[in-house]
């Protein structure tokens, strides 16, 4: 007589799935921590007047900031915690670090005004992030409301890097011009000017060969001349937003004038009386 052995309970696959899921959730946060680390290190280097290293660390933080969101979407591990944590890291890397970098380079040449302008940039960046988090669910995903804070941080960083590369002496006029530039970037961040997010362009489905060529060309130009290429691309993006808004308003005004003229002429000319005919 054979005695049946008791069946061993099968090991549940839930622990493995849970560990994999935790690993996926941790992966985007690691990029966010790297973003914050680059911003923190940039602040330390800027305080010790190592401005070039600080500037490149801020640009590296921008690269990590772009990767963490894409990795979270690819692995389907987006969460409210990740969004809020990413915003806190952005305040350090794209608010505090560029403001201190610009101040250490040239804004301190105008005294308290430079201190105030640098602090204004930090406030504008934090307001920009808070507004983005509040309106993220209801806003049009094709456009950003105001200049994104990574672009504002990139503008200040490239200003310092290009000036350092060209060995521009920081005197009183240069400090005043830099203060005006930082103030204008701060205003653009808190403005309501729509900037394209690029999400409406899907070149991979329509023109995959063209998309591959454009990406390869941009990477080649940036690799060959990184600072001029990045400054040109970022400057064009900053200018395109106000230019598109102005063109849209002019187009709306030109289309509204003929309609108003038609209404005026129809109100002036009385209708014909059929009894007189």
Q: What is the mean pLDDT of the chain?
A: 83
Q: Residue 195 in 3-state DSSP?
A: strand
- Per-residue tokens: 150: 């990574």
Residues 32-83 pLDDT 10s: 999 999 999 999 999 999 999 999 999 999 999 988 878 877 877 777 888 8
- For helices 51-74 and 14-47, give the axis angle rounded to 10 degrees: 160
Closest CA to 115 of 126, 99, 127: 99
pLDDT single digits (tens) 142-162: 888 899 999 999 999 999 999
Can you give the pLDDT at residue 72? 79
Q: Where are the domains of the chain?
A: 27-251
Which CATH number, 3.20.20.70, 2.40.160.20, 1.20.120.1760, 3.30.2290.10, labels domain 27-251? 1.20.120.1760
Answer for the pair 164, 52: CB distance below 8 angstroms, yes or no.
yes
Q: Buried (b) or exposed (e) across 211-246, using 16+ Cβ within 10 A?
A: eeeeeeeeeeeeeeeebebbbeebeebbeebeeeee
Q: Which residues of 38-55 are buried (b: 16+ CB within 10 A; e: fewer)?
A: bbbbbbebbeeeebeebb
């Amino acid at each position: 007589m054979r005695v049946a052995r008791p069946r061993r309970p099968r090991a549940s696959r839930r622990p493995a799935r849970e560990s994999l899921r935790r690993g996926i959730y941790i992966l985007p946060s690691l990029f966010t921590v790297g973003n914050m680390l680059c911003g923190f290190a940039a602040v330390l280097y800027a305080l010790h007047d190592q401005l070039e290293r600080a500037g490149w660390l801020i640009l590296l933080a921008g690269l990590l900031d772009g990767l963490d969101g894409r990795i979270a979407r690819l692995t389907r591990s987006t969460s409210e915690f990740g969004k809020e944590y990413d915003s806190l890291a952005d305040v350090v890397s794209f608010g505090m670090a560029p403001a201190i970098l610009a101040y250490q380079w040239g804004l301190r040449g105008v005294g308290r005004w430079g201190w105030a302008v640098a602090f204004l940039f930090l406030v504008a960046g934090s307001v920009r992030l808070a507004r983005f988090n509040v309106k993220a669910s209801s806003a049009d995903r094709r456009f950003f409301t105001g200049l994104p804070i990574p672009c504002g941080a990139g503008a200040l960083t490239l200003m310092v890097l290009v000036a350092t590369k060209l060995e521009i002496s920081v005197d009183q006029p240069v400090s005043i011009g830099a203060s005006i530039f930082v103030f204008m970037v701060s205003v653009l961040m808190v403005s309501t000017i729509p900037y394209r997010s690029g999400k409406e362009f899907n070149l991979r489905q329509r023109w995959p060969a063209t998309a591959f060529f454009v990406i390869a060309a941009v990477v080649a130009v940036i690799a060959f001349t990184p600072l001029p290429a990045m400054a040109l691309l970022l400057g064009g993006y900053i200018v395109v937003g106000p230019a598109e808004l102005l063109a849209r308003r002019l187009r709306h005004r030109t289309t509204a004038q003929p309609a108003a003229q038609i209404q005026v002429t129809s109100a002036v000319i009385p209708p014909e009386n059929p009894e007189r005919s």
